[in-house]
Amino acid sequence: MQRRSIRRRLGGMETHMLLVASSDSEGAEKTLTGLAEAALSRGHEVTLFFSDSSVRTLAQGDGEGGYAGLHSRGVRLLACRTSALASDVLSSGGFMAGVEMSSLGELALLLEEHDRVVFIGGDGG
Does a structural domain hold residue 10?
Answer: no
Residue-level pLDDT at 5: 42
Does a structural domain hold residue 67?
Answer: yes
Residue-level pLDDT at 93: 82
Does a structural domain hold residue 2?
Answer: no
Q: How many domains does the chain have?
A: 1
Does a structural domain hold residue 125?
Answer: no
Does a structural domain hold residue 3?
Answer: no
Residue-level pLDDT at 122: 67
**Angle at 19 (CA atoms; ends 14, 22), nearest 5 degrees:** 180
pLDDT string in tens for the chain (125-residue length): 334 444 444 454 578 999 999 999 989 989 999 999 999 999 999 999 999 999 999 988 755 568 989 999 999 999 999 999 999 888 888 899 999 999 999 999 999 999 999 999 865 44
User: What is the CB-side half-sphere exposure of residue 49 using CA atoms within 13 A?
Assistant: 22
> Which residue range forms the structural domain that includes residue 50?
16-120
